[in-house]
Structure 1
Amino acid sequence: MDSIDVSSRVWDRLLAIRKGVACACCGSFSPAERAALQIYGPIARRDLGPITIAQVGQSLDGRIATVSGDARDVSGPDGLAHLHRLRALVDGVVIGVRTALHDNPRLTVRLCNGHNPARIVIDPRGRLPDDAPVLTNCGARRIIVQAVDRPRPTGVEVLRLNAEDGRVDPRQILDGLRGMGLGHLLIEGGGLTITGFLEAGLLDLLQVSVAPLIIGSGPQGLTTQTQVQSLSQAYRPQTRIFGLGSDIVFDCALGAHAVAAQEPVHRQGHSAAC
């Protein structure tokens, strides 16, 4: 397991990679700084095309909240900082309406430097109130994916898609958002939303952040609809493990696109800062 150090010069490099004016292969960095470039570099890169990543913060026993729904302190301080870095590196953050209603998230970047991503809520039935914190105007795009003809406030974009049994096909969502100019997307929650994209084969990367606490009961991070009868049928992604300090991250590549993204930049022929 590699411990990461997101020093100011590492973060500046990652933001430059995001802009397409730097690479992750050059420079003199400590092993921990180099590990930080390894975990965030594939997300910052734009030369390989769009990428979809999901992030789950959970306890040692795989819980993302208590029975009452308290999820505020599941991730430690370093795990929260990690989530904000992911937000800063992507073009848009996607959550389901249940997460928006229960957690009242803002989905903004506050624990690191960087621009706020587009905030996207999957709300097939149009349940999200117009004064929800996630729809507060902070200069970033606000997008609602819905299957009803409900008007939204000026400045809030609507991606109108069909729903079946109250659910919108994740592939239609992804195609629609890409058509709106959003390439790199972070599927942040909740567990059902992430699982929907996972089972549809739409995730390039899955990051599971584990904090050292045992909750004992409550909702689980990932619960697939497809039941695995034998371990030979289970997902076995190519995985790297990083120590954040208060949390541990399992960085899982789920397809060839992600495996290529995890390769050193100079092997891909990208030499913006070489």
Structure 2
Amino acid sequence: MTNLYEQAWPLIRAVAAANRAGDQIENGALFAFDGEKLTPAATRAARPILRYDQGWRSLLDASDERQVCLDMYLPLLAARPAPPLVLAQLGQSLDGFIATASGHSHFVTGPTSIVHLHCLRALSDCVIVGAGTVAADNPRLTTRLVDGPNPVRVVLDPKLRLPLTRGVFRDGEAPTLRVRARGVPLPSELESANVQELEVATLGGQLDLPALLGELRSRGLRTILVEGGGVTVSAFLAAGLIDRMHIVVAPFVIGEGRPGLRIPSAAQLQDCVRPPPRVYALGGDILFDCDMRSHSAAESVAPIIRRVL
């Protein structure tokens, strides 16, 4: 964690803060970094280390230890106004499971990958999880392992099966939005001052996910992290709503358990989803960073594993 936190993370946080300020950043703008915030690099005295051209680009030398982290996180930080971003994250075993058959999942991935997940939360406006994940893991969905703001927590609970005893509904650590199917009544025992309520229409018995994203964006939540579990991430993937996906693979075999991604299968392999990946080492785990909107061939990506921590 030392390299990321002490060297690269303050710079990444500064970029995120510049984005959230809401000011439009001109193409071609150069920025220096004073250790706390980005400053315009208008003079030679301020060495530019970032350039903005429809997105952030690092000007650091390849030998700079911060470069690999910027390479991974800058694509998630488009200056506003910009199209919203839906990022999905999932950690799984070599054989594609996110938990044992009994539901035990603490932790499939290693501690470095958990820090990375907290970084993703800090760079996101909100984090989405399904009711199954909250029931099984009772997650806090905060950024307690890194410096950065907690995202709004969005819990998909269409039929209101979760009790208020779950931590996200009680701890008050971050704004929490509970999403239920339109028409499902809210009983008085589930009312809480710590929870905002949102009703969303259903399609085929499932939440209308495009409508949900529209509601979140209307609330100013534009960078959206879909964190889990496998059913929820798979639903967004099957609906074609994911822009970028981080899949972390841990080097062990569960044998049988709760699956990660499951979407309808294409008849031919050439018709399967094949996003070009960038590959990173997170401790003992391997991260596949997949651009789901890219039309480049997967084979065109240099097969280099870059170590982040």
Report the TM-score when normalising by structure 2: 0.77
Matches within 5 A, 1:38-53: 38-47=71-80, 48-53=82-87
Q: Deviations over 1:52-105 (max 9, x none)?
A: 000010111111111111111200111111111101110000001111111111
Secondary structure of the residue aligned to 1:172 is helix
In 2, Cα distance between the equivalents of 1:38 and 1:79? 17
Select the residue among 229, 240, 244 that pairs with 1:205. 244
The number of equivalent residue pairs is 253
Alignment CA distance shift 1:211-1:32 (3 Å): farther
Whether the 8 Å CA contact 1:125–1:166 is kept in 2: the answer is no
In 2, Cα distance between the equivalents of 1:163 and 1:76? 36
Specify every segment of 5 or more residues in structure 2 that has no aligned partner in the other structure, as ranges: 19-36, 39-49, 51-56, 296-309
Whether the 8 Å CA contact 1:94–1:188 is kept in 2: the answer is yes
Alignment CA distance shift 1:131-1:29 (3 Å): farther
Number of the residue aligned with 2:276: 238
Match for 2:256: what amino acid?
S
* Pairwise CA distance, 1:176: 1.1
**Structure in which a larger fraction of residues adopt strand:** 2
Match for 1:149: what amino acid?
P
Number of the residue aligned with 1:10: 8
Number of the residue aligned with 1:143: 177
* Pairwise CA distance, 1:134: 1.4
Match for 1:160: what amino acid?
E
Matches within 5 A, 1:1-274: 5-20=3-18, 22=38, 23=50, 24-27=57-60, 30-47=63-80, 48-147=82-181, 148-150=184-186, 152-164=191-203, 166-224=205-263, 226-255=264-293
Q: Deviations over 1:191-212 (max 9, x none)?
A: 1110111111110001100111
In 2, Cα distance between the equivalents of 1:11 and 1:132? 31
* Pairwise CA distance, 1:246: 2.1
In 1, Cα distance between the equivalents of 2:165 and 2:63? 46
Match for 2:248: what amino acid?
S
In 1, Cα distance between the equivalents of 2:180 and 2:267? 35
Whether the 8 Å CA contact 2:87–2:242 is kept in 1: the answer is yes
Larger radius of gyration: 2
Secondary structure of the residue aligned to 2:99 is coil
Moved more, 19-28 or 42-51: 19-28
Match for 1:10: what amino acid?
A
* Pairwise CA distance, 1:46: 3.1
Specify every segment of 5 or more residues in structure 1 that has no aligned partner in the other structure, as ranges: 258-274
* Pairwise CA distance, 1:142: 0.6
**Higher RCO (C-alpha under 8 Å, 6+ residues apart):** 1
Moved more, 245-254 or 159-168: 159-168
Q: Deviations over 1:100-157 (max 9, x none)?
A: 1111111011211111110000111111212311123434211011122215311411
> Deviation above 6 Å: which 4+ runs of structure 1?
none
Secondary structure of the residue aligned to 2:233 is helix
In 1, Cα distance between the equivalents of 2:58 and 2:166? 42
Whether the 8 Å CA contact 2:172–2:194 is kept in 1: the answer is no
In 1, Cα distance between the equivalents of 2:294 and 2:274? 13
Secondary structure of the residue aligned to 2:70 is helix
Aligned-residue CA RMSD (Å) = 2.0
Match for 1:180: what amino acid?
R
In 1, Cα distance between the equivalents of 2:148 and 2:249? 25
Secondary structure of the residue aligned to 1:237 is coil
In 2, Cα distance between the equivalents of 1:8 and 1:82? 14
Report the TM-score when normalising by structure 1: 0.86
In 1, Cα distance between the equivalents of 2:174 and 2:217? 16
Whether the 8 Å CA contact 1:5–1:36 is kept in 2: the answer is no
Identity within the alignment, %: 39
